[in-house]
Amino acid sequence: MENLLSVQNLTKRFGPVTANDGVNLEVRKGEIHCLFGENGAGKSTLSSCLYGYYRADSGVIRFKGEVAELNSPADALRLGIGMVHQHFVLVSNFTVLENIIVGSAGTGLFLTKSDARRKISELCESCGLSIDLDREIWELSVGEQQWVEILKALYFGAELLILDEPTAVLTPQQSDQLFRILDGMRMRGLSIILISHKLREVMQSDRVTILRKGRAIATVETSETTAEAITALMVGHKVSKHVRDRSVEPAGEVLAVDRACAIGEWGEDILKDVSFNIGRHEILGLAGVAGNGQKELFETLMGVRALSSGGFSLEGEAITKPTSREMLDRGIGFVPDDRSLEGLIPEFGAAENLILGWQRAREYCRGPFLDRRKMDALARRKIEEFKVVTASADLPVERLSGGNAQRIILAREFLHSRGLLLANQPTRGLDVAASEFVYEKILEKRAAGFAVLLASEELDDLLRLCDRIAVIFKGRIMGIVRPEETTLLELGMMMAGDAKDVQRTVQ
């Protein structure tokens, strides 16, 4: 097979950080080529160089055998390299059709509409993609919006499509659909560069290039390798999966939630009679499809959302009308699922983010003044302990990769919490090694006597980590089960709300 794209010796530096270090990459015509690597390995940087957003410091990019001068995304698109961003660039009150043809050259919107419609319908058909071109963007699910982005790139003649962690925002079903579409595109001879750190997805590609610390370590045929081998290549050593220590038994009661109810903006039930408790040395898993009330449950426990009835108690003390201040002062650690929105100040560096919530605490202040020396010392310690990759403690965290940003949140929450840790999707968007790092830290807290509420969509992980697993569906707890007494199938049924036969709750 011929190479559609070949990259030789591409290097890209950001100040002192070498994000890509002499990377070589070859992408064949008609293949799904996966870029796999830990957070900060340089995947996004590499793809940004390929579609002209960054200019490489050195190196040669050849597209269809010719040296490509990529000075802007427009250059790349003209050659046939398209990019689907994680954050979609769509006009929400335009229709699908309008969004796709907006920005197409020359002729007015109306002249081209019927031509465009025909062309797009053909594209849809050939990729096995069905979408109503006249619906407006705001009516579409996230998955469908992503299709629009893909269609847009194809409409502009992309022969190589780059997708940077496309499934991070999708449900499992939506990502299955996405892969069917990508398969259809591969059949048509299009090439796809897929950035992912989910092994399940990587294994569906044709070839994988593994990046580690900015270098392309190896390119392998997926069919000739295993998930374990790829993971080992990625981190440079074997990853051991952590499990909870069964010799430590949960005891007592740290958090008890009693028939908590919350009502949404439209009067709908968001939480309905939620009851559970967590003891010392215990991890209670919270399983459920995203959007079934997990977020709201965490928010009420953190005092940023009011309950309509019911309540909860901490260490036996009933909490009435909590505020986030009070909950932090009571020593609750909170890892929010949307870290950039709820957990970090994007323009602040690691040092300032590490004291977010504690900017008036005596440890970091002298009177009304921040104690920069103590903050810097803390930042140095935590950056090392949590292996945060950042150019400096003051580099805005919006410039860090997701995994590194998450490490800053974890460092902060583990430092300031005493007794209860609330972690909502703490490994979302993280690679295998980074996830294990998070789990290792959470297990350390369990060993230290913490009660932990851990929500995750990774059921395998919940099964090996948790003492008990609560399943939430439409704001109700469908049951609480022990991992050794349940199966993936049973959990899956409860997550889908089908709990008639299985409803039970263990203490």
Ligand X SMILES: Nc1ncnc2c1ncn2[C@@H]1O[C@H](COP(=O)(O)OP(=O)(O)O)[C@@H](O)[C@H]1O
**Interface residue list for ligand X (CB under 6 A):** 14, 17, 19, 37, 39-45, 389, 399-401
Distance of CA 447 to the CA centre of its chain: 27
Q: Give the nearest distance from C-beta 346 to ligand X in angstroms.
A: 13
Nearer to ligand X, 37 or 288 (CB): 37
**Terminal Cα distance for the chain, rounded:** 60
Q: Tell me how far, at minimum, the Cβ of 402 lies from ligand X, in Å.
A: 7
Q: Using CB under 5 A, count the residues that bind Mg ion.
A: 1
3-class state of residue 165 by DSSP: coil
For the stretch 312-316, contacts whose Cβ atoms lie closer than 8 Å and that sit 24 or more positions apart, written own/partner, are: 312/255, 312/256, 312/257, 312/258, 312/260, 313/255, 313/256, 313/258, 314/254, 314/255, 314/420, 315/254, 315/419, 316/253
Q: Binding marks (x or -) toward another protein, 385..404, rule CB under 8 A?
A: --------------x-----
Residue 42, binding choice from ligand X, another protein, Mg ion, none, Cβ under 5 to 8 Å by partner class:
ligand X
User: Is the separation of the CB atoms in 81 and 160 below 8 Å?
Assistant: yes
- Closest approach of ligand X to the CB of residue 397, in Å: 10
Q: Which is nearer to ligand X, 12 or 446 (CB)?
A: 12
- Taking CB under 8 A as the rule, which mask of x and - marks residues 308-337 in contact with another protein? ---------------xxx-xxx----x-x-
Token digits of residue 232: 């080992």
503 binding partner (options ligand X, Mg ion, another protein, none; Cβ < 5 to 8 Å by kind): none
155 touches another protein by CB under 8 A: no
DSSP state of 343: I
Cα separation, 296 vs 337, in Å, equals: 11
21 or 253: whose CB is closer to ligand X? 21
358 neighbors 416 (Cβ within 8 angstroms): yes
Assign residue 205 a region: left if phi > 0, alpha if psi is -120 to 50, beta otherwise? beta
Comparison of 118 and 325: residue with beta carbon closer to another protein: 325
The amino acid present at 219, given as its one-letter code, is: T
Q: What residue number has its CB nearest to Mg ion?
A: 44
Least Cβ distance, residue 200 to ligand X (angstroms): 18
CB of 356 to ligand X, least distance (A): 20
Dihedral (CA of 428, 434, 436, 439) sign: negative
Whole-number minimum distance, CB 214 to Mg ion, in Å?
A: 13
Interface region with another protein, contact rule CB under 8 A, candidates 68-76, 142-150, 225-233, 451-459 = 68-76
CB contact burial 349-372 (16+ within 10 A = b; e otherwise): bbbbbbbebbeeeeebbeeeeebe
Residue 56 C-beta: closest distance to another protein, Å:
6
CA angle 171–176–181, rounded 5-degree value: 125
Interface stretch with Mg ion, choices 26-34, 38-46, 248-256, 344-352 (CB under 5 A): 38-46
Q: Does 196 bind Mg ion (CB under 5 A)?
A: no
Nearer to another protein, 59 or 252 (CB): 59
Number of Cβ within a 10 Å radius of residue 2: 9
**Host H or E run for residue 100:** helix 96-101
CA dist., res. 93 & res. 135, Å (int): 9
- Residue 359 touching another protein (CB under 8 A): yes
Query: Rounded to the nearest whole angstrom, what is the least distance from the CB of residue 15 to another protein in the complex?
Result: 6
In the complex, the smallest distance separating the C-beta of residue 391 from ligand X, rounded to whole angstroms, is 6
Q: Which is nearer to another protein, 246 or 321 (CB)?
A: 321
The nearer residue to ligand X, 328 or 438, going by C-beta atoms, is 438
Residue 175 interacts with, from another protein, Mg ion, ligand X, none (CB under 5-8 Å by kind): none
Q: Measured between alpha carbons, how far is 307 from 260 in angstroms, rounded to an integer?
A: 7
Q: By three-state DSSP, how is residue 212 classified?
A: strand
Residues that bind Mg ion (CB under 5 A): 44
Residues that bind another protein (CB under 8 A): 14-15, 54-61, 67-71, 302, 304, 323-325, 327-329, 334, 336, 340-348, 352, 356-357, 359-360, 365, 368-370, 372, 399
